[in-house]
Structure 1
Amino acid sequence: MAQASVAETRQSSWWHRNQQQLTPWLFLAPGILFFLFYVIFPIFQSFNLSLYEWDGLGQAEYVGLYNYEELYWDDAFYTSLKNNVIWLLLYLLAIPAGLFIALFLNQTVTGIRLYKSLFFFPFVISQVVVGLVFTWFYDPTFGILNVLLGAVGLPPLNVLGDENWVTVGIIVAGLWPQTAYCMILYLTGLNAVDPEQIEAGRLDGAKGWRMLWYIIVPQLRPATFIAFVVTIIGALRSFDLISVMTNGGPFGASRVLSFYMFEVALSEYGFRMGYGAAIAVVLFLIMLAFIAYFLWSMYKEEKAR
């Protein structure tokens, strides 16, 4: 009995000594387990699946790097990759657009709450709704776009039916809610801007663009970092707008890697899960490269301070 009592006392004292360090980890444990099971494990599973030829039902056949070799000769893959690059370049316009809208909404003017609600609205509606709205907007028969073009004497334009315009048209639709998201990030960041630095800048004669570039923008680095990461991920995983607006058409001209992955794995190409996983791995590595670059840049900046 005495030995048991001593052991219990030691155990109790160890818990009390380490309680502060262990308690946060106990609260984090469920989230970490979910993250490992639903994010990290599927990543490694996708790498493994990309080495097999599998239809999702029968016996998987190991083919090594054959799926990646087939990607190298796949014209549809390069079309999807090119469209992803276009998405990435044009989607980044949401960041400066969101910043300037946030600067406008950060002022105290009449009706500013109404303006904030109007600019915030695209962020809270579904991407499917955004896709439908812009599909009607681009419609060559009754869409508002062609009404406006006709009003200035220009011929009608079938944006979603033209191989040269379809990707740009979908990106414009995606920029609407993405700009609203960046605006919210910058509005939050502007609330944390040090007014003393702004006042010091004014005393030094900084105003307009100089004030923005040298005083305000450096203090918005955390918001800019998040905006870049979220925008790049959004551009590379774009799927829902393409599915709603064109379903990859016309003639596959609006495909991106995420949509092409869906097509080959779960659609008309015969349920090629291994080939779809290979596309997913390529997309993941591209995302990882961009995110790693921004994390490394942020780390160097913080270390230099």
Structure 2
Amino acid sequence: MADTVTIPVPTASSTTHVKPKSRRLRGGWREAGVAWLFLLPALLGFLVFFLYPTLRGFYLSFTDYDLLTAPQWVGLKNFEKLVGDPLFWNSLKVTLEYVVINIGVQTFVALGLALLMHRLAKSTVIRGIILLPYLISSVVVALLWYWMADVNLGVINQVLGWIGVDPVAFFGEGTWAIPTIALVNVWKFMGYTALLIFAGLQAIPATLYEAADVDGANEWTVFWRITVPMLRPVLTLVLILTIIGSWQIFDTVAITTKGGPINSTRVIQYYIFDQAFSRYNFGYASAISVVLFLILAGVAFAQMKLTRSDESDLA
């Protein structure tokens, strides 16, 4: 009797449908095309308004350019001029003073507000009120506080007079001008900073606080042992954003003091503006901008390394 050969018949459950490679490739290219189509407006904006001005600014920093004539290549002369420019070093010192006051107070206040929103203020109305100053134009905020702090008619000096304090020229005295400008911007931006920290608090697992409560840990211990370590990546982001923003302070100074009195508020951004649009030294202003760019890049890199922003205690 001859041997019989059994031919297996594929069933519906054992049959696999393999999509042809060419079809998969066409589908992938189609999805990538749609993605690039949506990214195109943002990419064009980045190229036109960020990348091209940045590259042109680097080029102009090596030239003598006054807007009316063609740029003349001068090499490193603009940077050599920076070294012996006392106004440049003064602007760096003034800006650093502003950054220290602004970041120190703003971070402390924003962290406190974020903790209050996380633990106590559950109402969206209260959270919206805290964010409200950030939504007001910087020019409006500067004018508002400039009038309120006026040495003769300002409501702040009127209140100080009621308690026996002599009027203070908050924007008119070199001692008070930079701290006043820093605190004005703290009032404006503390709600936004608190919102970023609040988002980080929302990501901390509640079980950690429950375990700490079972162990009998007090609020101070919970804050330093749980909250702060868990917030490290968010705090790093907040510090990088706020420090970069603080180094770019311009509008409040331009509205209130215009760099005075006696250069006590001539921050580096206002000095760049003065050199470029008042004195038409665009090459020199570009060189200052390049130095500022390198400072901010170095500060951001140092912060990321020192705070170990790439490590998360949530892992």
Scaled to the shorter chain, the TM-score interval is 0.7 to 0.9
**Runs of 4+ deviating beyond 6 Å:** none
Equivalence for 2:118: 106
Equivalence for 1:276: 285
For 2:178 and 2:45, the matched residues in 1 are separated by 36
Higher percent of residues as helix: 1
TM-score by length of 1: 0.87
Offset, 1:108: 4.1
Equivalence for 1:238: 249
Letter in 2 for 1:261: I
**Residues 238 and 37 of structure 1: is their aligned pair in 2 closer, same or farther, counting only changes over 3 Å?**
same
Question: 2:272 aligned to 261, 266, 280, which one?
Answer: 261
Question: 1:152 aligned to 142, 163, 178, which one?
Answer: 163
Q: What's the secondary structure of 2:119's corresponding residue?
A: coil
Superposed, which structure 2 residues align to 1:156-171 within 5 Å? 156-171=167-182
The answer on 1:83 being equivalent to 2:99 is no
Equivalence for 1:291: 300
Offset, 1:15: 2.0
For 1:193 and 1:13, the matched residues in 2 are separated by 41
Question: 2:65 aligned to 49, 54, 73, which one?
Answer: 54
Q: Deviations along 1:217-265, whole A, 9 cap, x unmatched?
A: 2222332122111110111000011011111112222111111100110
Q: Deviations along 1:101-139, whole A, 9 cap, x unmatched?
A: 121122346x95554333222111011111011101210
Q: Which has the larger radius of gyration?
A: 2
Superposed, which structure 2 residues align to 1:112-131 within 5 Å? 112-131=123-142
Offset, 1:304: 12
Residue pair 2:259, 2:266 contacting (<8 A) in 1 also: yes
Offset, 1:288: 0.7
Letter in 2 for 1:229: I
Q: What's the secondary structure of 1:255's corresponding residue?
A: coil
For 1:162 and 1:41, the matched residues in 2 are separated by 40
| Structure 2 alignment gaps of length 5 or more | 1-19
Equivalence for 2:214: 203
Equivalence for 2:107: 95
Equivalence for 1:68: 79
| Structure 1 alignment gaps of length 5 or more | 1-8
Q: Deviations along 1:58-105, whole A, 9 cap, x unmatched?
A: 121111111111111111111110011112211212112101012112
Letter in 1 for 2:117: L
**Residues 302 and 41 of structure 1: is their aligned pair in 2 closer, same or farther, counting only changes over 3 Å?**
farther
User: How many correspondences in the alignment?
Assistant: 294
For 1:26 and 1:295, the matched residues in 2 are separated by 33
Which piece of structure 1 moves more, 288-297 or 81-90?
288-297
Which piece of structure 1 moves more, 218-227 or 176-185?
218-227
Question: 2:235 aligned to 220, 224, 230, which one?
Answer: 224
